[in-house]
Amino acid sequence: MFGSGFLYYWILLVIGILATAVFLTLRVKRGGIAALYAKAVASLCFIATAVAATNHNRSFLGFGSFVTFGLICGLLGDVWLDLKWIYLQDKDSYLYSGFIFFLIGHISFVAAEYTASPYTKGSIIVSVLAALVFAVIAVNLEKPLKMHYGKFKWIVFLYSFMLALTMTTAMVTAYITGFQKMWVVMSIGGLVFLLSDLVLSGMYFGEGKNTKFNIILNHTLYYAAQFTMAATILCAK
């Protein structure tokens, strides 16, 4: 019933939680290259849990592969975004690169969802429209929330749409499948990811919001989201 992949998943999850705690400590106290390396290790752990889960649940190889690729994009996005804080003279280039990798990652998550979802034309329309509404609201709340997207406004819109689509597709699929476990878990992962990025957007585009509290909150939500996305592979049936 439980193979080596299942055991490795839980071992790697524990290691990943510990690595995340080490990263957060370094990020808040020191920052710099040491924190970047620690972040890369923590991110490698959520990729490793996805690989172990896919090895355990090989009947969902396509789903697992797309989720794992999305997580790999997350690791690459992590590296680029942290370089933004280290090499300030090139911060805009690093921010663009981070956006692009996370955008591709969410495209991969959505692709994973459609490899396993019993979707209908109606479910696709609802998911896309809900995500589009979220993206429009996110961009138009720029002034009320006292943020300044500037030249990043177009990519904020695109990313917000794909971020929301990951969540809305999972939620709609959860509904039409009678709330199957994998779709409930993926909905939670998508929602927590969205909450993480709401905090991050304030840190990047707002004033005075790059606080230690927000750094810890953002990364705690982010790693919880990525580990949850990996867990969907284990729950897939």
Per residue in 44-58, pLDDT (tens digit) is 999 999 999 999 999
Q: How confident is the model at residue 1 (pLDDT cuts 50, 70, 90)?
A: very low
Q: What is the pLDDT of residue 126?
A: 98
Number of structural domains the chain divides into: 1
Q: In one letter, which amino acid is 149?
A: Y
Of 37-41, 96-100, 222-226, the range with the highest mean pLDDT is 222-226
Q: What is the pLDDT of residue 184?
A: 98
- How many residues are recorded in the chain? 237
Q: What is the pLDDT of residue 5?
A: 67
Q: Report the candidate in 104, 31, 113 with the shortest Cα–Cα distance to residue 72.
A: 104
Distance CA 135, CA 77 (A): 20
Distance CA 123, CA 106 (A): 18
Domain extent at residue 96: 4-235
Contact (Cβ atoms closer than 8 angstroms) between residue 147 and residue 201: yes
Distance CA 141, CA 27 (A): 29
Q: What is the pLDDT of residue 2?
A: 52
Rounded to 5 degrees, what angle do the CA atoms 148, 152, 157 make? Answer: 95
